[in-house]
């Protein structure tokens, strides 16, 4: 089993990827970024993903994980955030596997970032309920219970002031409305107080580009829950996707070995019965 896996992070403006050293959680080579095609249709994005993988020497035995900005169920996109709406209902897993020639495992982008933080970053070793909240164009979320992911939680869409919370307190809103840190922190306080009331988390981890400036706003929040900045930041999606791909490959191999052993056992029983 390889100690490396390949991670790809599909976003609305760029598609980036690199091999990941799973023993450290670090990129094993400089990442490559290709602009997301416009319109970002399934066929166009699949071609770009294949081009990105082709820029590396990725062996056929190396698992490939891909993040996607959507609710993902059994590899199928149920929504489409910041990509073409034609993705809805598309089997992303099957499409990218066919187009790239690699076994591809697809995961929601916020969930992937959370997986990376839980294994290598600010959530490592933390039990109870941990929530990784990514503040960016929108608000992504990943929820874990004793280290196990609860997929597709989409907590950026909790209602706040009669609308999705992200339209009130995403970091993009801070920029659009030119809010100072104190005013924006007040909005974050409303959101995180609501989150705290609903889930009683052990720790909240803040990701996204703005997490680099956490000293400007985290100290202004008054919560019972420990709230800390993420550690992996822009590489979290790539790393998390690679971790997922490695886990899924191991699960499939175990299932295949179990099936082989079961078949061998049945065959032995048939031979014994024939004697």
DSSP line for 90-113: -BHHHHHHHHHSS-EEEEEHHHHH
Model pLDDT, residue 60: 83
End-to-end CA distance of the chain: 40
| Residue 46 DSSP SS3 | helix
Q: What is the pLDDT of residue 30?
A: 96
- Is residue 126 pLDDT above 60, yes or no? yes
Listed residue (207, 213, 210, 211) closest to 237, CA to CA = 207
Q: What is the pLDDT of residues 91-120, one digit of tens each?
A: 999 999 999 999 999 999 999 999 999 999
CA dihedral 167, 168, 172, 173 (to 10 degrees): 120
pLDDT digits (tens, 9 = 90+) for 35-71: 999 999 999 999 999 999 999 999 888 899 999 999 9
pLDDT for 12 equals: 87
Band (29; pLDDT cuts 50, 70, 90): very high
Q: Considering the domain delimited by 4-107, tell me its CATH architecture.
A: 2-Layer Sandwich (3.30)
> What CATH number has the domain spanning 122-230?
3.30.420.40
Size (the chain), residues: 275
Which carries the bigger pLDDT value, residue 259 or residue 148?
Answer: 148
The 3-state secondary structure of 154-191 reads CHHHCEECCEECHHHHCHHHHHHCCCCHHHHHHHHHHH
Q: Is there a contact between 102 and 60 (Cβ–Cβ < 8 Å)? A: yes
Residue 1: the pLDDT is 46
Are the beta carbons of 132 and 230 closer than 8 angstroms?
Answer: yes
The pLDDT tens digits of the residues spanning 218-250 come to 999 999 999 999 999 889 999 999 999 999 887
Sequence spans of domains, the chain? 4-107, 122-230
Whether residue 201 is predicted with pLDDT greater than 80 in this model: the reply is yes
Of 262 and 106, which is predicted with more confidence?
A: 106
> Would you say the CATH fold of 122-230 matches that of 4-107?
yes
Q: What does the pLDDT read at residue 207? A: 96
């Amino acid at each position: 089993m390889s100690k490396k896996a390949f991670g790809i992070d599909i976003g609305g403006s760029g598609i980036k990827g690199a091999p990941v050293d799973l023993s450290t959680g670090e990129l094993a080579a400089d990442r490559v970024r290709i602009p997301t095609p416009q319109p970002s249709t399934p066929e166009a994005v699949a071609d770009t993903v294949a081009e990105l993988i082709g820029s590396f020497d990725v062996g056929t035995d190396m698992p490939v994980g891909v993040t996607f900005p959507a609710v993902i169920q059994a590899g199928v996109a149920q929504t489409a955030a910041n990509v073409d709406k034609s993705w809805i209902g598309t089997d992303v897993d099957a499409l990218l596997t066919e187009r790239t020639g690699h076994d591809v495992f697809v995961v929601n982008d916020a969930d992937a970032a959370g997986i990376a933080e839980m294994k290598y970053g600010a959530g490592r070793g933390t039990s109870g309920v941990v929530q990784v909240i990514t503040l960016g164009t929108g608000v992504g979320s990943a929820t874990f219970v004793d280290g196990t992911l609860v997929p597709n939680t989409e907590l950026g869409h909790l209602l706040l002031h009669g609308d999705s919370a992200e339209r009130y307190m995403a970091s993009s809103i801070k920029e659009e409305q030119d809010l100072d840190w104190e005013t924006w922190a007040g909005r974050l306080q409303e959101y995180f107080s609501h989150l705290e009331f609903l889930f009683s988390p052990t720790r909240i981890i803040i990701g996204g580009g703005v997490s680099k400036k956490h000293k400007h706003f985290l100290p202004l929040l008054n919560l019972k829950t420990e709230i800390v900045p993420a550690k992996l930041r822009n590489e979290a999606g790539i790393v998390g996707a690679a971790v997922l791909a490695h886990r899924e490959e191991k699960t499939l191999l175990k299932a295949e070995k179990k099936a082989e052993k079961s078949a061998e056992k049945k065959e032995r029983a048939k031979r014994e019965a024939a004697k």
